[in-house]
Amino acid sequence: MKRLAPAKLFSCGALLYRAIKYVLALAVFTHFSTGYAAPGSLDLSFGLGNGKVIATIGGDDNAHAMTIQPDGKIVVVGACGSTSSRNFCVARFDSTGALDTTFSNDGKVVTPVGTGNSDAYAVAMQSDGKIVVAGQCGIVGARDFCLVRYNPNGTVNANFGTNGQVITAVGTGDDALEGLAIQSDGKIVVVGTCRSGSYDAFCVVRYESDGTLDASFAGDGKVITSIVANAGDAARAVAIQSDGKIVVAGYCGDIAVKIDFCAARYLSDGALDTSFDFDGRVTASIGNYVDAGSAISLQADGRIVIAGTTTITGDLPLMSAVRHNPFGSLDTSFSTNGRLTFRIGSGTESAASVALQPDGKIVIAGSCAVGSNDDFCVARRNSDGTPDNTFSVNGSVITPMSVSDDDRVAGVALDGEGNIVVAGSCGASPFRDFCLARYEGGPFGARQCSLDIDGDGKVLATTDMLIGSRVALGMTGSAVIGGITFPANAARDQWGTNTSRDIRKYLITQCGMNLL
């Protein structure tokens, strides 16, 4: 092997040092480049240039959940049809907001499940790209847990359950499935509410990846837990910890007297985790009447954020949240003794979903009344619960999606660019539609800067490093990507277009560069 002379080694090293120095010098800039909107503004590259998408799916469309795929595509699920005939419905949108025509040819799938009305309330992505949708369906006078799995192209995956569907009776009466999560080993966990004796209880079911009940979970795959004795419990959301423990959140108590936020944590075998508030169960009271938890998210440090709605006697419902330490106690460093309440609009409000940014900021989305109608409402709070004043006005934003009709939020998630995507329903029944809005996350929000500049999942010398070197040398405009051949799966392959495929926008918003 030929060795380079010391002088040449020094020369190569000096050039490399200078290139790295230029890159670092560019990266220290954190000013938001002119031409991009401030955090909390609607992303005008989404939808028809206004940051919004409205799509008719299959009749009266009511969205209940959403997720974002690693490639940026957005999946929204819910119930479509009419009051007397409802079915699971799934829609997938490109990162631009257009319906994805590679998904069932038109971006939409409607699937009857069971023998009566069926409503999808949860969705999760498998690592292989398959989509699991869960909810409830009618079976001979009762309501059961129901799941359907779809292939990445939108067809029903026949290898799951029976012809792609799984139906499970859990309690002694109607079962209402609300939450879904997929473990790292591919097992599927669903949660909801079912009847146990004279009262409703938390219900957790775990399936093998093929849809069969997991016998290693409580012996038959099912766990029914009473959180508060002789009262009603409702499980609304689930999350899986990195150690495999399952955290379920919702509300419990007597609705005629007082209900509280509540949560339970289970070991991987289905037993309650007694290290969580001593018996695996915890309740949290915020107001003096209704505290209804509806969404959950787990911080990287193990703390648990639950968002929902609080009603104080004599006042209208408002948004609320609590944060628990890893072992169940309320985190007193969050807001007021671990409890947060706030109002965005001027009337009744309810939080539907919560997402955590990599920088620790908390995004809470829901519906709030402005005048006689409900609108999309989004708030971003700092890690301690205080408003993030870099986000819109005083940390919150209100977005009317339809004209003179109610808009209801179903879910919120962050995409790979740090944008905030909110999905729900808008319009008046029986002609409601799926609706989405996307907001700028901004350089002060979710930073997800990577050397994988083109977003193809790899860091290559011929694309990513070449682009970085050209930027470091001061090149601008189309010359930065001139002559580069991008992989077919690249998420970003343009320059200066101000779209989701814009490399310049990515370097500014997610890497903090000040590119003119």
Give 433-468 as a 3 state SS string: EEEEEEECCCCCCCCCCCCCCCCCCCCCHHHHHHHH
Let me know whether 469 and 375 are in one domain. Answer: no
Residue 12 lies in a domain: no
Residue 156 lies in a domain: yes
For 10, list phi and psi in degrees, rounded to 5: -65, -40
| Tally of structural domains, the chain | 2
* Structure tokens, 132: 């699991």
Residue 359 lies in a domain: yes
Residue 444 lies in a domain: no
Let me know whether 425 and 464 are in one domain. Answer: no
Residue 363, number of CB atoms within 10 A of its CB: 26
Which of 413, 439, 465 terminates a domain? The answer is 439
Asked if the model's pLDDT at residue 62 lies above 70, the reply is yes
Residue 388 lies in a domain: yes
Let me know whether 428 and 491 are in one domain. Answer: no
Let me know whether 344 and 199 are in one domain. Answer: yes
Residue 481 lies in a domain: yes
Residue 13 lies in a domain: no
Per-residue DSSP letters for 9-37? Answer: HHHHHHHHHHHHHHHHHHHT--PPPTTSP
Lowest mean per-residue pLDDT among 27-36, 108-117, 197-206, 406-415: 27-36
Let me know whether 209 and 347 are in one domain. Answer: yes
Which of 439, 473, 489 terminates a domain? The answer is 439
Let me know whether 249 and 181 are in one domain. Answer: yes
What gap in Å lies between CA 353 and CA 141, rounded to an integer? 31
Let me know whether 389 and 493 are in one domain. Answer: no
The predicted pLDDT at position 443 comes to 67
For 264, list phi and psi in degrees, rounded to 5: -135, 145
Let me know whether 377 and 502 are in one domain. Answer: no
Asked if the model's pLDDT at residue 330 lies above 80, the reply is yes
Tell me the per-residue pLDDT of 459-505, one tens digit each, with 9 for 90 and over: 999 999 999 999 999 898 999 999 999 999 998 999 998 777 889 98
Tell me the per-residue pLDDT of 131-150, one tens digit each, with 9 for 90 and over: 999 999 987 668 999 999 99
Q: How far is CA 46 from the centre of its chain?
A: 18
Let me know whether 392 and 494 are in one domain. Answer: no
Let me know whether 429 and 480 are in one domain. Answer: no
- pLDDT-derived band at 370 (thresholds 50, 70, 90) equals confident
Which of 412, 439, 466 terminates a domain? The answer is 439
Amino acid identity at 488? A
**Structural domain containing residue 277:** 52-439
Nearest Cα to 122, choosing from 177, 163, 40? 177
Per-residue DSSP letters for 239-264? Answer: EE-TTS-EEEEEEEEETTTEEEEEEE
Residue 43 lies in a domain: no
Let me know whether 220 and 321 are in one domain. Answer: yes
Let me know whether 469 and 323 are in one domain. Answer: no
Mean pLDDT of 74-103: 95
Rounded to the nearest integer, the mean pLDDT of the chain is 90
